[in-house]
Amino acid sequence: MFDYFRSSYDLGPDFTDVECQTKDIEELGGFMSFYWLSPDGHLYSPDFGGTYDYHLDSPETSSGSFFNAFKVVGTGKNGAMKPAYITRKIKIISSRLATEFWEVPEMELEFREGELVSYSQLKPRCVSSEHPFWQDE
Domain assignment present for 54: no
Count CB-CB contacts under 10 A for residue 76.
7
Domain assignment present for 69: no
Owning domain of residue 29: 3-48+79-134
Strand 70-74 and strand 88-94: the pairing is unpaired
Helices (H) and strands (E) in the chain, counts: 0, 10
Task: Give how far Cα 12 sits from Cα of 15, 93, 100, Å.
Answer: 6, 13, 20
Q: Phi and psi of 70, rounded to 5°?
A: -110, 145
Domain assignment present for 67: no
Domain assignment present for 62: no
**Using CA atoms, how far apart are residues 117 and 128, in angstroms rounded to an integer?**
22
Domain assignment present for 23: yes
pTM of the model: 0.73
The total of structural domains in the chain comes to: 1
Domain assignment present for 63: no
Closest CA to 69 of 80, 61, 77: 61
Domain assignment present for 32: yes
- Give me the tens of pLDDT residue by residue for the chain, a chain 137 residues long: 788 999 999 998 889 999 999 988 877 666 788 999 999 999 999 988 888 888 877 666 556 566 667 788 888 888 899 999 999 999 998 876 655 556 778 899 999 999 999 999 887 654 444 445 545 55
Domain assignment present for 71: no
Count CB-CB contacts under 10 A for residue 12.
14
CB 19 within 8 A of CB 6: yes
